[in-house]
Amino acid sequence: MVTIVQVSVRLGKTYLPVLAETDTGMFIPVDPVYTADLTVEGLSAALDKVMAAGHPQIPHPSQEEWRRIVRKNPLLLSARVKNWKEFSQGSVGYIVEWKEQTVELRVYRIDRQGWSIGPLKTLSFPADVSSRTIAEAILEDVRLRPELQAERSEPGQTEGQAQE
């Protein structure tokens, strides 16, 4: 059973990596990374896929492996960016965590090193919440963030010219 899901929103897309669990209990993004447009249906389907994938068990990485994970993070590769500084521009992160009686949705700002700053906001849901309700809550938060709305346009386009 999945206990935690990471959702990143950047440039009109969502990115949801499968999170492997190390033998020390740490979660690390691994392939595949599911992507979806900013729609309830798309995000809900991506949430369902990452939850079905579970948490593959892996050994805790060595220092050298950590350096590779930071440089070649599947999230960065999926977003086609070179580094966390580029990814952090116009992005926001969400953590969905299943607890004993509730599901928490926490909103974070992603800094230039890929670390989460926050939480900026926390929402709680009943333990049996649907992926659709989680997707709706994330998209409502995205709508309230003007910095994300401006980023939906492609470089060189005005807001009204953004590609659908």
| pLDDT in single tens digits along all 164 residues of the chain | 899 999 999 999 999 999 999 999 999 999 999 999 999 999 999 999 999 999 999 999 999 998 888 888 999 999 999 988 899 888 999 999 999 999 999 999 877 776 667 778 999 999 999 999 999 999 999 999 877 765 444 443 333 333 33
Q: Is the pTM above the cut of 0.95?
A: no
Residue 121 and residue 113: Cα distance in Å, rounded? 21
Task: Write down the pLDDT at residue 19.
Answer: 97
User: Residue 72: its pLDDT value, please?
Assistant: 86
Contact status, residue 55 vs residue 27, Cβ threshold 8 Å: yes
* CA separation for the pair 20, 80 (Å, rounded): 21
Which candidate, 132, 139, 136, places its Cα nearest to that of 47? 132
Predicted local distance difference test score (pLDDT) of residue 160: 33
Of residues 145, 151, 31, 23, the one with CA closest to residue 94: 145
**For residues 94 and 116, what is the distance between their CA atoms, to the nearest angstrom?**
9
Q: Residue 150 has what pLDDT?
A: 52
Question: Which of 139, 155, 133, 77 minimizes the C-alpha distance to 107?
Answer: 139
The candidate with the shortest Cα–Cα distance to 134, out of 90, 94, 74, is 94
* Structural domains of the chain in order of their starting residue, each with its CATH number: 4-161 (3.40.1590.10)
Residue with tokens 């068990």: 57
